[in-house]
Amino acid sequence: MPRPQAGARWEGSLHEGRGAMRMASGSYEGPYSFESRFVEGNGTNPEGLIAAAHAGCFSDVGFTITRIELDTEARVPGIEESEFQEKAGAFKAGRPVSQALAAVDVMLSAKLAA
């Protein structure tokens, strides 16, 4: 089975920032923002992509996701490595998409960029 890969980039603060999500295959790339995630703005959001993926699973009953590997790197001014790892782990456990995928083994590799 091929190993699906995707990426996301976010720049700026939560409310004013902007980002983009893309599949490594190039089959999808689109913007997301605070508005598209929490209000009604243009673009997509992680939950919408999960919904699309879930709908796709119904067309291929034999396909089961058993493990997801997340590699992330972030620049966070004024934070120590231990605090960054703690926050990354809390986000992995507490975000809505993480909770939706609770039955899947999600491996997180978080790196604090200099």
49-58, 78-87, 100-109, range with greatest mean pLDDT: 78-87
> Is pLDDT of 7 > 60?
yes
Residue with structure tokens 């997180």?
A: 108
Tens of pLDDT along 23-41? 878 888 888 888 887 887 7
pLDDT of residue 63: 56
pLDDT of residue 65: 63
Question: Whole-prediction pTM value?
Answer: 0.54
Domains parsed from the chain with CATH numbers: 1-61 (3.30.300.20), 65-114 (no CATH)
Round the average pLDDT of the chain to a whole number and report it. 78
Structure confidence at residue 102 as a pLDDT band (50, 70, 90)? confident
> Is pLDDT of 112 > 80?
yes
Tens of pLDDT along 60-98? 555 566 666 777 777 788 889 899 889 888 877 887 777
d(CA 23, CA 40): 23
